[in-house]
Amino acid sequence: MNGLNTYILNYQGAKTDRNKKKSISIKIFSTVIGIVLLSILFISLFSLIGSGENTSNFIKHEIESGESLWSIAAYYYNSNNVDLRKIIYNIKKINNIDSAIITPGRELIIPLN
């Protein structure tokens, strides 16, 4: 009878060890999921905050027939004493334009400073 009691005690001890391991695994899994969700929340929050910045420094311009990069740059920087070649370079860089050929209907982003 003494051996049977020892077996029962050992079996119950093994059961609690399995429960402890399950409990620890669940806690770790919950922690990882919580960290991932918080990261997604913070990334979303900061991307929303950052999306509104610097919109006043640019203007959208739809290219009309007969316009060139030079005429567009001159229109927005006519009163300023600036080198239009630098403005055209910036317009091309911002809009990923490789040549001076532009097509009507395309929208350009024009830097205003």
List the chain domain ranges.
1-53, 55-111
Count of beta carbons in the 10 Å neighbourhood of residue 60: 8
The answer on pLDDT for 107 being more than 80 is yes
What distance in Å separates the CA atoms of residue 17 and residue 15, rounded to the nearest whole number? 5
pLDDT of residue 21: 80
Model pLDDT for residues 36-86, shown as the tens digit of each residue: 999 999 888 887 776 555 556 899 999 999 999 999 999 998 876 888 899
The answer on pLDDT for 16 being more than 70 is no
The CATH class for the domain spanning 55-111 reads: alpha beta
Average pLDDT over residues 10-18: 62
Q: Higher-confidence residue: 1 or 33?
A: 33
First to last CA, the chain: 93
| Pair of tokens at residue 67 | 């316009």
| Pair of tokens at residue 78 | 């006519």
Question: What φ, ψ does residue 69 adopt, rounded to 5°?
Answer: -60, -35
The answer on pLDDT for 14 being more than 70 is no
Question: What φ, ψ does residue 108 adopt, rounded to 5°?
Answer: -110, 150
In the predicted model, what is the mean pLDDT of the chain?
82
What distance in Å separates the CA atoms of residue 72 and residue 62, rounded to the nearest whole number? 10
